[in-house]
Amino acid sequence: MVKKITDSKWFYILVSILMAFVLWIYVGKEANPLTTGTLRNVQVVYTGLDVLEERGLMISEGANQTVSLNIQARRDVFARLSQGDVTVTIDVSGITEPGEQSIAITTRIISYPRSIATTDAIDLRYTSPATVDFTVSRWTEKDIPVQAVFEGSVAEGYQRGEFSITPETITISGQEELVDQIQYAQVTVSQQELTETYSEQCSVSLIDQDGNPVVNSNVQAQPQTVLVTLPVEVLKEVPLTVNLIDGGGATAVDAKVTIEPADSIMVSGSQSDLEGLKEISLGDIDLSDVYSTNTFTKEIALSPELTNVSGITEVTVTVSIQGLTTRTMKVSNIELINAPEGYTPEAITKSCSVLIRGPEEEVNKITESQLRIVADLSTTDPSTGSRTVPVKVYLDGSSNVGVVGDYSISVSLS
C-alpha cells in the first residue's frame, strides 16, 4: 500500500508543493526579518477642539508637540511607515475645566497609514515621552485700540499731520490671563525724510499694561495688519495783509499798519494748494473810519484745504494816519430827501460838527459852504415823531481833503 503511494505521481507533486511552501516561509522570514526602530517627530493631533472652544476653553500650552515611538515590526512594514503619516490623536472633547492634562500614549491612540493592514504585527515597545502633557486654560477675546508711533522724519519745509488708522480697533483672542494683560496694539512708522503722504498696510504689535511689547504670545490678533495713513504737507510762511480803502482825505500812503501778535502765520497744505498763496487778506479797512490811530480785531480765515499751523486765529490791526491835518467845522447846510409819501420831514438838528482831514494847506482852504449834510429817509419808518437817522457828509470842491467818521442827526416826521 505504501509502495503504491510512493510510486504515485501525485505524491511527488504534493511533496514538492509542501517543500516549496516551507522554503517560501523560510526565505520570507530571512528576507523580511523583524526589525526594531524609532519613529521620531510623530505629530500629536488634537480632536474635539470645537467642543472645547464652545466651553470657553483652549489649549494654552502643548498644542504643538511631537513624540518618538519605538516599535518592532517587519522590514516591509517599516518601509510603509516611512511613506505615510503616523500620528498620536488626543480627544479633548471630554475636558470641561481648565487645568494641566496628562494622557498616556498607548496603541489605542496611535494612527498608522492606511497602507498598513490591521493584521500586520506592530509591537509598540515604548514611547518618549510616555505621556502627552498639555494645559487647558480659559479662552476669551476683546477689542483693543490701535495706536501709531512715528519714529522717522520729514524733509525740511514739510510737516506731518495726524495718523489715520483703519480699522481703529482689532480683536485679540487667546488665554484669558494673557489677553487681560494686553492694553492696545501699536504700529510704528520709521520712514525718513518724507515729502509726501505715507499710506501702507502695517503689522501690529501687542503692548501690555507697562507699555512693553508682548512677544512669543499665543494671543491671536484679527486682523493682523491695519492701513496706516500719515499726511505729509508743505509748510509755508504766509504774510497777513489788510486792504486799505481811501477815505477821509487819507490814502494807503498816509497810513501805517501794524498787525499783532504776528504779521504772518505758518500754513500747511498740498503743494498745489499752497503754490498760488502769496498772502492772506484780513479784509477791508475804510480810512474814513480812522481818526488818528484805531485798532481793529480781525479773524484769520483759511480755505478748508489748508491748516493754520501757528494756531493764531485772530489778530489786532492798528492803523495810524501820519502827515495829515484835521479840522473840525460846524455844518448847518442840512438836506432831507426821499421822505415817506404823505409825511413832512423836519430836521431837529440844526447844525453838526464835522471833522475833515487832509494836507494842512488844503484843509485850511475849506469853507463851511463846501460842506453839506444829506439825510436819505427812504428807509426810515413811516410814522410820526422824531428819530435819529444816519447822514452822509459831502465835501465839494476838493479832492485832497475828506470827511472823517460817521454822523447822524435827529429828524421828525409829521
Provide the pLDDT for residue 10: 67
Are residues 36 and 117 both part of a single domain? yes
Q: How far apart are CA 353 and CA 366, in angstroms?
A: 14
Provide the pLDDT for residue 204: 95
Identify the CA nearest to 163 among candidates 227, 231, 226: 231
pLDDT reading at 12 higher than 80? no
Are residues 125 and 170 both part of a single domain? no
Domain count within the chain: 4
Higher pLDDT, 78 or 138: 138
Residues 229-240: what's their mean pLDDT? 92
Average pLDDT, the chain: 88
Any idea which of 75-79, 230-234, 306-310, 311-315 has the lowest mean pLDDT?
A: 75-79
Are residues 201 and 254 both part of a single domain? no
Are residues 103 and 37 both part of a single domain? yes
Which H or E element spans position 237?
strand 232-245
pLDDT tens for each residue of 281-313: 999 999 999 988 999 999 999 988 898 989 999
Provide the pLDDT for residue 2: 47
Domain presence at residue 398:
yes
**pTM (two decimals):** 0.55
Any idea which of 8-17, 148-157, 354-363 has the lowest mean pLDDT?
A: 8-17
Are residues 307 and 342 both part of a single domain? no
Are residues 119 and 39 both part of a single domain? yes
Provide the pLDDT for residue 213: 92
pLDDT reading at 208 higher than 90? yes
Higher pLDDT, 380 or 242: 242
Cis peptide before 261 (omega within 30 of 0): yes
Domain presence at residue 5:
no
Provide the pLDDT for residue 183: 95
Tell me the residue type at 152: G
Q: Which of 211, 230, 249 is the last residue of a domain?
A: 230
The CB-side HSE value for 63 (13 A sphere, CA atoms) comes to 12
Residues 94-102: what's their mean pLDDT? 93
Q: How far apart are CA 105 and CA 69, in angstroms?
A: 9
Identify the CA nearest to 395 among candidates 254, 247, 244: 247
pLDDT tens for each residue of 307-333: 898 999 999 999 999 999 999 999 999
Q: Is 359 exposed, middle or buried (0-12, 13-18, 19+ CB in 10 A)?
A: middle
CB-based contact 35:78 (threshold 8 Å): yes
pLDDT reading at 82 higher than 90? no
Q: Which of 129, 151, 175 is the last residue of a domain?
A: 129
When pLDDT is cut at 50, 70 and 90, the band that residue 260 belongs to is: very high
Share of residues in the chain with pLDDT > 70 (%)? 91
Provide the pLDDT for residue 113: 83
Query: End-to-end alpha-carbon separation of the chain, Å?
Result: 171
Rg of the Cα atoms in the chain: 50
Tell me the residue type at 85: D
CATH code for the domain in which residue 398 is found: 2.170.120.30
pLDDT reading at 3 higher than 60? no
pLDDT reading at 241 higher than 90? yes
Are residues 182 and 267 both part of a single domain? no
Are residues 373 and 332 both part of a single domain? yes
Are residues 291 and 339 both part of a single domain? no
Domain presence at residue 23:
no
Are residues 175 and 120 both part of a single domain? no
pLDDT reading at 24 higher than 60? no
Provide the pLDDT for residue 35: 87
Domain presence at residue 43:
yes
Q: Which of 169, 198, 230 is the last residue of a domain?
A: 230
Phi, psi of 183 (to 5 degrees): -100, -40
pLDDT reading at 401 higher than 60? yes
Residues 373-387: what's their mean pLDDT? 88
Identify the CA nearest to 322 among candidates 259, 258, 249, 256: 256
pLDDT reading at 353 higher than 80? yes
Are residues 194 and 275 both part of a single domain? no
CB-based contact 138:180 (threshold 8 Å): no
Residues spanned by the domain of 355: 325-413
Which grid coordinates are listed for 252?
Answer: 494807503
CATH code for the domain in which residue 283 is found: 2.170.120.40
